[in-house]
């Protein structure tokens, strides 16, 4: 999706960068000479982003490439904790987008982030997903405690996993669920995954009866059914992003972040189930 204003900017840039026509040198019927101009050198912008951003950021990347000649956006999608570790081990990237503040704060503390505070650009919430045929016949959150139900969560080191545990803990504090609700649900967990996309994959493959992921993940897998987690138990996940200290293209990284925060970028994020920071 490219805003009409962006298209005009692109067209102007192309016309300015294209070859100029030289004036005729002999007579009124002389054909102008096309003088070639040098195209911008190819550049690759590398973005390390939380797995839950996969679909939205891929669309944002396509639009960004369309208005920036000879720019290619490449992604490394994984759990935020994995991305932080990779950066600490020397991985080079231009932008880091985390699904929580602790990993971004850790990156700042480790000197991985360029000068300037990271910016929150979107929020997300949790939802329960079940297979399309819902073999366990799950209808409500209370059903997650039922004996024999197979549940998949992201690992507690993953932001989505940590948030899921918080949500289950909040339910256990509600008399409607009972203080043992959290313990009973966790007894049904058959695997803890390294990121939310792996949780979605387990449900899509029919390897579990339910999983807890972000709303954005359920939007990206419309064939799955969902069970809502009320606001009173849910967790609002804030996503920050920043230019990295060792960014090969710091200027381009800043422009990318500006596009994510633009009305066009925020509209794409909203389409994929996120709540924009900027309406």
Residue 1 maps to a domain: no
**pLDDT for the residue 236:** 95
pLDDT tens digits, one per residue of 19-67? 333 344 444 444 344 444 577 899 999 999 999 999 999 999 999 999 9
Domain match, 159 and 175 both: yes
Domain match, 258 and 188 both: no
Residue 233 maps to a domain: no
In the predicted model, is pLDDT for residue 5 greater than 80? no
Cβ atoms < 10 Å from Cβ of 3: 15
Residue 2 maps to a domain: no
Residue 117 maps to a domain: yes
List C-alpha distances in Å: 218 to 79, 121, 223, 267, 272: 17, 20, 9, 18, 9
**pLDDT for the residue 39:** 77
Considering 228, 247, 263, which residue would you say is the last residue of a domain?
A: 228
CATH number for the domain including 138? 3.40.190.10
Residue that wins the pLDDT comparison between 195 and 11:
195
Residue 176 maps to a domain: yes
**Nearest partner of 105 among 93, 122, 120, judged by Cα:** 120
Contacts of 160 (CB under 8 A, 6+ apart): 52, 99, 126, 154, 195, 196, 199, 212, 213, 214, 237
**pLDDT for the residue 116:** 87
Residue 4 maps to a domain: no
**pLDDT for the residue 59:** 98
Domain match, 67 and 38 both: yes
Domain containing residue 243: 13-123+238-276
Domain match, 56 and 132 both: no
CA distance 209 to 188: 10
Over residues 172-200, mean pLDDT: 97
Domain match, 182 and 134 both: yes
Domain match, 244 and 194 both: no
Domain match, 115 and 132 both: no
Domain match, 174 and 105 both: no
264 CB-side CA count, 13 A = 18
Domain count, the chain: 2
Average pLDDT, the chain: 89
CA distance 10 to 13: 5
CA distance 274 to 11: 31
Residue 98 maps to a domain: yes
In the predicted model, is pLDDT for residue 149 greater than 60? yes
Q: What is the pTM of this model?
A: 0.82
Domain match, 95 and 17 both: yes
The answer to whether residues 52 and 125 touch, using CB atoms and an 8 Å cutoff, is no
Residue 6 maps to a domain: no
Domain match, 186 and 272 both: no
**Nearest partner of 65 among 49, 81, 44, 47, judged by Cα:** 44
Domain match, 145 and 108 both: no
Q: Of the given ranges (15-19, 129-133, 184-188, 217-221), which has the lowest mean pLDDT?
A: 15-19
Domain match, 147 and 20 both: no
């Amino acid at each position: 999706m490219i805003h009409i204003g962006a298209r005009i900017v692109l067209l102007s840039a192309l016309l300015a960068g294209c070859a100029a026509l030289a004036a005729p040198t002999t007579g009124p019927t002389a054909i102008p000479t096309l003088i070639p101009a040098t195209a911008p050198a190819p550049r690759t912008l590398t973005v390390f982003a939380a797995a839950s951003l996969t679909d939205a950021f891929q669309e944002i990347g396509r639009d960004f490439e369309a208005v920036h000649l000879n720019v290619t956006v490449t992604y490394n999608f994984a759990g935020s904790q994995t991305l932080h570790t990779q950066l600490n081990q020397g991985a080079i990237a231009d932008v880091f987008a985390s699904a929580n503040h602790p990993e971004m704060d850790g990156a700042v503390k480790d000197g991985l982030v360029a000068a300037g505070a990271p910016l929150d650009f979107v929020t997300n919430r949790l939802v329960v997903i079940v297979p399309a045929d819902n073999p366990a016949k799950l209808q409500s959150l209370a059903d997650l405690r039922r004996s024999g139900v197979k549940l998949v969560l992201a690992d507690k080191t993953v932001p989505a996993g940590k948030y899921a545990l918080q949500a289950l803990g909040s339910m256990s504090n509600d008399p409607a669920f009972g203080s043992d609700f959290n313990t009973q649900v966790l007894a049904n967990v058959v695997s803890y995954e390294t990121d939310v996309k792996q949780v979605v994959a387990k449900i899509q493959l029919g390897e579990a009866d339910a999983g807890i992921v972000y709303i954005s993940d359920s939007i990206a897998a419309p064939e799955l059914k969902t069970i809502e987690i009320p606001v009173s138990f849910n967790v609002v996940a804030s996503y920050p992003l920043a230019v990295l200290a060792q960014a090969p293209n710091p200027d381009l990284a800043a422009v990318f972040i500006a596009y994510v925060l633009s009305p066009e970028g925020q509209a794409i994020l909203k389409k994929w189930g996120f709540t924009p920071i900027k309406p």
